[in-house]
Structure 1
Amino acid sequence: MAVTACGDDGDSASGADGRETVRVAALPLIDCVALYIAQDRGLFEKEGLDVRIQQIQQSLQALPALAKGQIDMVASANYVTYLQAHEQGTLDIRIVAEAIRAAPRMMDVLVSEDSDIKSIADLAGKKLAVNVLNNVQSLTFNEILQRQGVDRPVYRAIPFPQMGAALDEGQVDAVHAVEPYDNAIQHDLNARVLIDGSSPPVESIPLSGYISTSKYVGGNGETLAAFRRALKAAVEIAEKDPSVVRDMLPTYTKVTEEQAESIDLPLFPPTVDAAQLTRLTDLMKKQGMLKKPIDPASLQQHGEAAASNSPALPPSSRPASASRPRSPSSWPSPRRSSPASARAWASSSPRRAWRPTAPGMRWRGWCGRGLSGWSSTGCWCGGSGGCFRGRRAGGAP
């Protein structure tokens, strides 16, 4: 990764108008959308920060620059890679903020339309493409396979942008793709969803975060507190209006406006949750990706651990005041709602319940019609207002 060296002292430098400079390496993925929303809305500037974003293609590329102090932070850093580097002594990491957690349909295992693979049991011994070997995709999918008592496939490393071609040309039997590649492969090849990569027992598991070093964190507490405030404000904007996320994606990724309308969004946690991160580290230890257990709370910046936050509570755990039905005016906007906001809305009403998408159907938001059947737009309205973009059993939209 080409990075302009700005000093190795680990301290923030003065940027434009006397603001504190924070140098962030970021991938052109949905994981970083809160970073770009905060930049676009002036939230960093409001906090007195001059955040300078440099795009990279893999989070691993930024590891040497982070170790040398050439950058201050890596956004959308793959937790598995950086936790392994921490254990090996390559880098003494600190988790500044979470980026995303798994959500329904944001990553799927896909097969070609005419594939003989009809179930995940058929994947045993077959070639499955993942972006990086021995990383978060195989980690989470192996756990899904174990839960269902199914043998593992043979993993092949193929970058996300090349997965569609590899599947089409028969280089692999299936691909484990994340958005926006997931949606694009389904659209371009009419590929079938074999299984949701966010299925139990890895639902809502943390996938990526904002990673820095203990040296930088130790000398820049106030700067990082300001950074987290701005980032949290951006996440709150995204949760209230997912269309902001969809509008932002084409500005820094190769996602088109049309693709941005249909991709499935991940969960964007407002704060770091050590309990959720422990699910990931325990899984890494179980599968041999870590030699010893790591306590994620020890990797949080001082003062952040007390601010941990979990996803929306299940209905049985909600306070009684949260069970009152809402009026139509408070329904999430159709075709724009994220899975997270939809589940939260559904579980707040005793008359409606969250239902997972059926195979071959894609979440599009709550239409609020309360009807059951196929609409003229090709959406399935599941009776509780859940609008799913998909195909009829016969294949026609």
Structure 2
Amino acid sequence: MHHGRLLRTVLSALTFVAATGPANADSLKVGYLPVTGHAKFFVAKEHGLFKQEGLDVELIEFQNSADGLNAVTAGKLDIGAFGTTAPLAHYAKGADLKVIGGIMGLDAALVVTAEKAASIKSIADLRGKKVATVRLATGDAVLRGALRDEKIDWKNDLKIFELKNPPAVIEAVKSGQVDAGVVWGPHDIRAERQGLKIVVRSSELQPGHPCCRIVVTSDRLKQGDTHVRFLRAILKAEKFAAERKKETIDAIQKYVKLDRDVLEQGYYSPFLDQSSDPNVQGTQKFWTTLVGSEVVDGTRPLAPIFELTPYRKALDSLAKESPREAFWQQRIKTEQARNQL
């Protein structure tokens, strides 16, 4: 009798938790791009890592960073991860944005046709050429910075066409409408498989540069520890992806409709940085590139854009839960090296 009552009590409690848990979860609308570099969002969603942190996350797709950042600043998204150029350009114009983490870095490439690969071998060869990019993409800004370094005026010495997304860039290059184009993974792999050649990668032009920062507006940070838990889920996804390749590609394939081998090559590429920290130093260097290339007005101090507390709390809490886990210890070292204001 006693054991029967105890069992009924336990089952009742479990039923209560199951019934009330989802209802009490914090809901978040998170914007992403359909690329391999955003895999941690997909992994966290598909493998229940957001749910583990008491979060009900709705992932909302955007085709480019410009549209995504507009949604963040308009209050239509709680969190977004859209390039490095887009948030910095909005911030330069007065937008109330905070960088709390990162989803990826590097990963852009300049592609040309096989025929033009003989004459376009470097950034210096773009003088007088037509180049397609995606508006406010990280690779676009790295390109303009590299042109400046070559003393090529991107406003007058060549023509830059800002297209909607990487597939449009690839088509423009293939059709001969432009001489070269800037894309990002896994579209660099797609471009190669369609006969195009990679001339130079963004990692060669600006080693260690960040891409897609996780950004929110200041008012969103008032939601208690929501963003700490969100970043815990992202960090868990980073670890998951490092250890479980098949399940990671399964998750990516639900959001990026490409062949598995393309997705695997794209996500586990040596040209993709998968660190989740804000990367203050890399972002500051990128800001200098944007200002020097006259992409943004650099009169507004950059330091206030960084809010490092949520990431540090998320990482420290995970490390305390598993103090012998080398993965977290390495991430702590990375954070300390890259995020000094």
TM-score, normalised to structure 2, is 0.75
Greater share of residues in helix: 2
1:94 counterpart letter in structure 2: K
Q: Check the 8 A contact 1:15/1:50 in 2, yes or no.
A: no
Q: 1:94 to 1:262 in 2, by over 3 A?
A: same
Selected match of 2:191 from 180, 185, 195: 185
Task: Say yes or no: does 1:107 pair with 2:112.
Answer: no
Q: 1:291 to 1:147 in 2, by over 3 A?
A: closer
Alignment of 1:138-177 (within 5 A): 138-147=140-149, 153-158=158-163, 159-177=165-183
Give the whole-Å Cα distance in 2 for the aligned partners of 1:154 and 1:32.
30
Q: Check the 8 A contact 2:69/2:82 in 1, yes or no.
A: no
How far off is 1:16 after superposition? 2.6
Instruction: Provide, for residues 280-321 of structure 1, a one-character-per-residue CA deviation record: whole Å limited to 9, x for no partner.
Output: 112112222232255554223362476799xxxxxxxxxxxx
Give the whole-Å Cα distance in 2 for the aligned partners of 1:290 and 1:118.
28
How far off is 1:34 after superposition? 0.6
Give the whole-Å Cα distance in 2 for the aligned partners of 1:97 and 1:16.
26
Task: Say yes or no: does 1:96 pair with 2:97.
Answer: no
Q: Check the 8 A contact 1:127/1:172 in 2, yes or no.
A: yes
How far off is 1:68 after superposition? 4.0
2:29 counterpart letter in structure 1: R
How far off is 1:243 after superposition? 4.9
Instruction: Provide, for residues 74-129 of structure 1, a one-character-per-residue CA deviation record: whole Å limited to 9, x for no partner.
Output: 1x21221222222222x301112211111xxx322121112252422332111111
Give the whole-Å Cα distance in 2 for the aligned partners of 1:43 and 1:37.
8
2:102 counterpart letter in structure 1: E
Give the whole-Å Cα distance in 2 for the aligned partners of 1:169 and 1:69.
39
Alignment of 1:1-397 (within 5 A): 16-74=22-80, 76-89=81-94, 91-102=95-106, 106-115=107-116, 116-120=118-122, 121-132=124-135, 135-147=137-149, 153-158=158-163, 159-188=165-194, 190-200=195-205, 202-217=206-221, 219-263=222-266, 264=269, 266-292=272-298, 296-301=302-307, 303-304=309-310
Q: 1:150 to 1:245 in 2, by over 3 A?
A: farther
Greater relative contact order, per chain length (Cα 8 Å cut-off, separation 6+): 2
Give the whole-Å Cα distance in 1 for the aligned partners of 2:53 and 2:69.
27
What is the identity percentage for the equivalent residue pairs of Structure 1 and Structure 2? 20
- The root-mean-square deviation of aligned C-alpha atoms, in Å, is 2.8
Give the whole-Å Cα distance in 2 for the aligned partners of 1:67 and 1:191.
36
Is there any run of 5+ residues in structure 1 with no aligned partner, and where?
1-13, 310-343, 345-397
Instruction: Provide, for residues 230-273 of structure 1, a one-character-per-residue CA deviation record: whole Å limited to 9, x for no partner.
Output: 11111122234455543432210122213223333611113222
- Indicate the SS of the match to 2:200: strand
Q: Check the 8 A contact 1:281/1:294 in 2, yes or no.
A: no
Instruction: Provide, for residues 364-384 of structure 1, a one-character-per-residue CA deviation record: whole Å limited to 9, x for no partner.
Output: xxxxxxxxxxxxxxxxxxxxx
